Structure 1
Amino acid sequence: MCGIFGWALGAAKRQDRQTLIGLTDLMFHRGPDGSGYWLHETSDERFQIGFGHRRLSIIDIGGGGQPMSSEDGRFTLIFNGEIYNYLELRQELVALGHRFRTNSDTEVLIEAYRAWHLGAVGRFRGMFGFALWDEAEQRLVLARDAFGKKPLFLAELQGGLLFGSEIEPLVRFPGFSRAFDAEALGHYLLNRYVPGPLTFFRAVRKLQPGHYAVWQNGTLKTTRYFTPPVATTMPEVKSFGDAVRLFEGTFDEAVRIRMRSDAPFGAYLSGGVDSSAVVATMVKHSTEPVRTFSVGFRETEYSELDHARAVASQFGTFHNELFVEPDAFMEHWSTAVLRRGAPVSETSDVPIFMLSEMASRSVKMVLTGEGADELMGGYAKHRAERWIGLYQWLMPHLLHERVIYPLVRSLPYGMRRVKILALAAGERDLVNRMRVWFGGTSVAEAEAMLGRRLSATPPDIYPYSSGLESSLRRTLFFDQTSWLPDDLLERGDRMMMAGSIEGRMPFMDTMLAGVVARFPDEFLTGGKGGKTVLRAAMDKILPQSILRRKKVGFRVPVGEWFSGPYQDFVQDMLVSESSSVARMISGPKLRRLVAEHLSGRQNHEKVLWSVINLEMFLRAFKIAT
């Protein structure tokens, strides 16, 4: 696990080694164990190739340094991530006659590319963002893993290309334009995150998940190599028992290969079904107690620590806990925004950052439960999507708009989930319904806030383009191609690496995704709480109190903090003379939201969180709007 940065620059843009070092080292937190730098001229001397690398040593600690060049000097690689099936690939390559000097997955990646060229990317069972220079072909290959667990940002400049694991090194490049992307602002308000390939910088784009890009002679061409199996695989498994057995075997292997490490590791344990299933499976493959880490709050209604303790006790883990206090949360918040390179979408980002700092004192890698809901249908929206089509067929649109929704909208704030369900049930446009589920602002509300018309068309229509008949599978496809890479997985990478720790996610295994895609809809959402196959697989392993408890998500009491000890902070961020947001968003609208929240008349926690984070982002990156 590492941080990479580099460039392919024309003659007029060439830079020295110190610039490469300085920009790469902005990601020291991603790789405090070592560094490497490489400058190279193309054969025609028209372009300069620069590679910078920060290393967090987990596999082949002594021999896996980067940039790594092949023995014959043809290939040079910088790589962020892990190839979990590298031992199996290595055996296959040895049988083909390839030789290895190290025990690292980095060298396996190089030799896999030598053997299978761009087809190698589809063979990797892992998470990665890498850059490989092919001297013979005079081309630069950039690639990002199937689900987008690892980031890769690109900036095409006049006369060159920049790329990196984080945005900060790119925008700090000499002469780089930090022009703000107003289109991204509208999408941020609608989604609560910036959907790819956009970022808040006009010049910076995300390489989308499941894509590789080839740069050659100053031209960049991007290709999709992966489509989530939920969109391409027929639900052919007829027996629920067979489905459970298929899941158990593949999930067990997904966990086992993610325990490959030459450094100490553990697991993040929330006390929910997903992380508990990961820990239970790790225990099967560990000869010593698994180290587990949990985070919670003094406010007991927001804390799941009791549930995590129950799981830790059952499996005899070496358990560690972190209580998040408001002051510590505030101290870490601005750094979290800087590391993310964007406004922090979820309140849980900051506690995960704090937990990662704590965990990194004793381990270098953790397994987590991210992705289970998006793979196996764990959200209430997944169960609702199965009957929304019927509701819309039975319920005339005007009746819903004029009678049903106004009644629901008058319900108190505590019925917020019912309100979202009612709004989503009446929304016939798939794009807008996906936004509704995550509680973003409506198009009308966002336009009122900004005082201008918005383009509600997504920057990448792919997440909405599956054409699947099953509404559940359409939603899962969207989750796996937009919500996950641009929000939850982005959080997982940036917040864990901000604390210098690697996160591995067994539920985001491509082979597991292929197996689950073979299950019919009712095997996923047919039972209470969804993830029916997962719950059945864990029925004799996890406590019933864990399997049957209601899903609550990881919530942070920021609403109470905003209206309590941090009222002045909210005022400064949003309505003071120094606030940039106050000049971007309708002043009367913003003042009303703040006044209603601080007085307790309404709870505007989500929208206030979004706009405060926007303000913090603008300040962190010194962006003029």
Structure 2
Amino acid sequence: MCGIFGFHARSRQLLEAELEAATDLLAHRGPDGHGTFAAQSRDGDWQVGLGHRRLSILDLEGGAQPMHSHDGRYVISFNGEIYNYIELRNELTMLGHRFVTQGDTEVLIEAWRAWGENCLSRFNGMFAFLLWDNHTSRLIAARDPFGKKPLFVAHAGEAHIFASEIEPLRQFPGIDDRLDPDSLREYLSYRYVPGPATFFKGIAKIAPGTFMVLEGEKHTTTRYFTTPFSHIHPDITDFDEALRLFSTELDKAVQLRLRSDAPFGAFLSGGLDSSMIVALMSRHMDKPVSTFSVGFDVPGSSELPYAGEVARAFGTHHHELSVDLSQFASVWEEAVLRRGAPVAEPSDLPVLLLAKKARRDVKMVLTGEGADELLGGYPKHRAEPWVALYQHLIPGFIHDLLIAPCTSALPYGLRRIKTVANVAGIRDYQARMVAWFGGGDAKLAQTLYNGPPASRLPDLLPFTTDETTSALKRMLHFDQTSWLPDNLLERGDRMMMAGSIEGRMPFMDVELAKLVARFSDAFLTGAPKGKRILRVLSQKMLPETIVNRKKVGFRVPVEQWFRTGMAEQMRDLLQSDDATIRQICNANEIDRLMSEHLEARHNHEKILWALANLEQFFRVFRPSIN
């Protein structure tokens, strides 16, 4: 786990001087070591630079980067882990390849030498890397299938500049870092910016499951992976067989992620997903698992008792962090800086605080992220398959005239019913996918934004599957190509790496996803709380109270805090005379939302959080909005 930086440019642009300074802006991602490399193409017309900040997890003594191959042909700056590196190393050794280190970085180099771009589909892991080939003068930039590891690219003249985070890219003259109005509009609808865009016009995300090749003036981008849910259809119809295969594959995914030469543990929420990870870790470790949990000092807003119950059941070495309002607020600006964007979810901040606490004891943790998006764990996954029937029975004008107004008037405590009722009436598929997690209130987003009409068409990949794919699998495909890489996995990477800790996510295993894509939909959502196959497996491994308890999610008590200790800060962010947000959004609408929330007439925590973070983003990055 590390931070990487690099460029490919005309020699006359001479970016070499900025290489080390830009790389050091990623020091939080790699406090254990640093290095740089610079060279010219064989014809002398182009230059390349690579920078690396290292968080040492494997081969602590021999894994320094940028790493040169044994013959000097290749140089790499690599962020991530290749979990099956031992198996690949053995295969490559049998083919005659030489190795002088013990980690996964050199395996990646030799895999590229042996198989070229086809090696990417052989990797079981999370990665982003820049690989320079001295013989062909080609630079390869690649990102893992699900986008667990970030890689951004910016253009300045004839230069391509790459980094693990946005901040280093903005240091270079010639990069267009003006605010992108289309991204602003999308943020108000999605609550995040869908890739490949960012908030800055001249900075983009390298898409998950793609690689880019730069050779002289030529540069091409190729997709090597699409989610199994987009094209694999169910062929496992016996539940007992599915359960056996799932149990084996999940256990393997956990076991692979225990490969580490540094101390490690697990983030434990007390929910089903992270509890199952801890249970499986306990099978394969000869000492107690170190577990870390975070909660809040507001009654009814903490899952710490549940996490403690799991910790006791498996005899873990347990650590707890109870976050109060002052701690929460103290890392808000840092979270925005590391995210390179507004913080989409309040839960980012306690994750950052927990990472800082865990770093005192471990360098790596396993987490339960991705289970809901793999196994259909959200209410929307159970609702979407019924939308076609609802729209067949209820004409659009009836929904708009009668149902939508009635459900909008329901209290916040019935927010899930409100969301389902509102979103089910959206006929356009793309708009509906966005609305499920955006909150279903596209009209409010339109009312808030004062900017120009959208000029950019959306990336169609998250909305595109085989025609025969089920409604559930189409939604899971959207989750895995948009919601996960551009929001949830961003949180996992940025907040943990801000605390200098690596996060590994067994549910985001490609082989596991290929298997689950072969299951009947009923094996996933065929239970009242979803994730049927995981729930049945967990009954054999977890305390009954954890298996059967109500899913509450990781809820931060911002509703109360906005009305109490954060009220003045919210007024400053959203209602002060110099607030940028009031220039680009409808100030009267902001005032209405604030008034209704502070007076407890409505709960607008979700949209107020989005707006307040937008203002924090403006204050931290100060982008030009012209």
Q: Given the two structures, how large is their TM-score scaled by the length of structure 1? A: 0.98
Aligned to 1:257: 256
Give 1:488's aligned residue.
488
Between the aligned partners of 2:241 and 2:323, the Cα distance in structure 1 is: 43
Matches within 5 A, 1:63-462: 63-440=62-439, 442-452=441-451, 454-455=453-454, 459-462=458-461
1:320 partner letter:
H
Pair 439,459 (structure 1): closer, same or farther in 2 beyond 3 Å: closer
Give 1:588 deviation, angstroms.
1.1
Corresponding residue SS for 2:26: helix
- Cα separation, 2, equivalents of 1:22 and 1:99: 34
What's the counterpart of residue 533 of structure 1? 533
Instruction: Output the CA distance in 1 between the equivalents of 2:411 and 2:256.
Output: 48
* 2:571 match: 571
User: Which one is further off, 474-483 or 578-587?
Assistant: 578-587
1:5 aligns with 2:5: yes
Q: CA deviation at 1:233?
A: 1.3
Could you say if the C-alpha distance between residues 172 and 295 of structure 1 is closer, same or farther in structure 2, counting changes exceeding 3 Å? same
Offset of 1:226 from its aligned partner? 0.3
Deviation string 1:212-241 (CA, Å, 9 cap, x unpaired) is: 111111232111100111122120111100
Matched letter for residue 581 of structure 2: V
1:509 paired residue number? 509
d(CA) in 2 for partners of 1:421 and 1:454? 28
- Which residue of 2 is the match for residue 581 of structure 1? 581
The corresponding residue for 1:479 is 479
Rounded Cα–Cα distance in structure 2 between residues aligned with 1:583 and 1:95: 64
Query: What amino acid does structure 2 have at the position aligned with 1:562?
Result: F
- Deviation, structure 1 residue 205: 0.3
Distance 1:450 1:305, change over 3 A: same
Range with bigger deviation, 397-406 or 359-368: 397-406
Structure 1 spans left out of the alignment, 5+ residues: none
C-alpha displacement of 1:445:
2.3
> Deviations along 1:56-81, whole A, 9 cap, x unmatched?
00000000110001111111000000
Residue 555 of structure 1 and its aligned partner are, at CA, apart by 0.6
Aligned AA (1:352): V
Deviations 1:452-487 (A, max 9, x none): 563397531110011444110110000000000000
Task: Give the deviation of 1:623 after TM superposition.
Answer: 1.5
Offset of 1:117 from its aligned partner? 0.6
Q: Is the CA contact 1:12–1:159 (under 8 Å) kept in the aligned structure 2?
A: no
Contact 2:419 2:440 in 1 (8 A): no
Query: In structure 1, how many angstroms separate the alpha carbons of the residues matched to 2:226 and 2:395?
Result: 36
Matches of 2:37 and 2:374 in 1, distance apart? 39
The letter for the 2-side match of 1:360 is: R
TM-score (norm 2): 0.98
Whether the 8 Å CA contact 2:450–2:586 is kept in 1: the answer is: yes
| CA deviation vs aligned residue, 1:76-105 (integer Å, no higher than 9, x gap) | 000000000000000110010101000010
The corresponding residue for 2:14 is: 14
**CA distances 1:551-579 after superposition (whole Å, capped 9, x unpaired):** 11101111211111121111111111221
When structure 1 is superposed on structure 2, of 40-49 and 277-286 the one drifting more is 40-49
Figure out how many residues of one structure are paired with residues of the other and give that number.
Answer: 624
1:280 shift after superposition: 0.2
What letter is aligned with 1:599?
Answer: E
- Residues in 1 aligned to 2:11 and 2:370: alpha-carbon distance in whole angstroms: 44
- Given that 2:412 and 2:602 are in contact with CA atoms closer than 8 Å, whether structure 1 keeps it comes out as yes
Tell me the residue number matched to 2:555: 555
Tell me if the contact between 1:366 and 1:502 (Cα under 8 Å) persists in the aligned partners.
Answer: yes
Paired position in structure 2 for 1:604? 604
Question: In structure 1, what is the equivalent of residue 615 of structure 2?
Answer: 615
Hey, what's the Cα distance between the residues in 2 that align with 1:441 and 1:203? 30
Alpha-carbon RMSD: 1.2
Distance 2:557 2:91 in 1: 51
Task: For residues 581-606 of structure 1, give each alpha carbon's deviation from its aligned partner in whole angstroms, at most 9, with x where no partner exists.
Answer: 11111111111111221222221111
Moved over 6 A (4+): none
Find the aligned partners of 1:459 and 1:12 in 2 and give their Cα distance. Answer: 36
Task: Quote the Cα distance in structure 2 between the aligned partners of 1:353 and 1:200.
Answer: 22
Quote the Cα distance in structure 2 between the aligned partners of 1:298 and 1:313.
22
How many percent of aligned residue pairs carry the same amino acid? Answer: 53
> Given the superposition, is the C-alpha separation of residues 81 and 443 from structure 1 closer, same or farther in structure 2, using an over 3 Å criterion?
same
Give 3-state SS (helix, strand or coil) of 2:300's partner: helix
> What is the deviation of 1:399?
1.6
Residues of 2 paired with 1:342 and 1:217: CA distance? 32
Q: Is the Cα–Cα contact under 8 Å of residues 191 and 441 in structure 1 kept in the other structure?
A: no
Name the CA distance, whole Å, in 2 between partners of 1:398 and 1:279.
50
C-alpha separation between the residues in 1 aligned to 2:421 and 2:236?
A: 33
Which deviates more, 467-476 or 527-536? 467-476
Distance 1:302 1:76 in 2: 49
Aligned 8 A contact 2:154 2:175 in 1: no
Q: Please say if residues 447 and 454 of structure 1, whose CA atoms lie closer than 8 Å, have aligned partners that are also in contact.
A: no
